[in-house]
Structure 1
Amino acid sequence: MNELPQTRILLAEDEEAMRTYLSRALEKAGYSVVAVDRGTEALPLLEAEHFDLLLSDIVMPEMDGIELAQRCNEVSPATKVMFITGFAAVTLKASREQPRAKVLSKPFHLKDLVLEVDRVFRTEEAARL
């Protein structure tokens, strides 16, 4: 019996408690998660490894999530992008600069996060049919 490869998510979130919380929820939902605390740590991973989704906070030190997403589009164009943020104005900027990316505003329930991540992959699967 062949097992399908696990969907891989790269999580970039500078707040440690939130990073742990999100990682656990996504792993419990069956995803493989690699978590980092800043965009500058995420970029080399995107260059070296395959990820199905970049899930990034927008406001982070050194490199914000929008710049990280732009760099992701360059080095790993097949990787989907989803933002999480607690700032409404930043949500508007993200939507304008990364129109294909999903934006989930904090606070949100973990169930909503998992549903949105699932939806990203269901939409992709439906497009292939």
Structure 2
Amino acid sequence: MRKKKDLPPVSFLEEGEWPTGRLAADAPATARLGQILAARLARALADQGLSARAIGERARCTHPTIARILDGTGSPDAQTVLHLEIALQRHLWPSDLHEGLTLPPAPERDTAAGQKGHQTQA
């Protein structure tokens, strides 16, 4: 599930048009995932001559959800991607996305705040 503070994938587009343009070098993996999903979904729809509304009905999701995936303003959940793959009979999820990517450093925790309420009695 996408966290509320996460920006939509298209917000990391540095040059060109979505979804084929270049993302910022520091774009998170979720932005790269969104870009690949959008490109693969667009290609599948074109190949099969389907509209966002038609695939939404087949995949049991709304056409605005499909539009958000395609324009990069939304990130689909796993169930939506699975339903789209079943409806299209095509892989959308990139199996090699992890190659060459790293996770950002974990945020530092405030150890004093983390220990509050966990004091033992003597």
Please tell me the TM-score bracket, short chain as reference: under 0.3
Q: Report the structure, 1 or 2, having the larger strand content.
A: 1
TM-score, length of structure 2 as denominator length: 0.26
Q: RCO (CA 8 Å, sep 6+): is it higher in 1 or 2? A: 2
Q: Which has the larger radius of gyration?
A: 2
TM-score, length of structure 1 as denominator length: 0.25
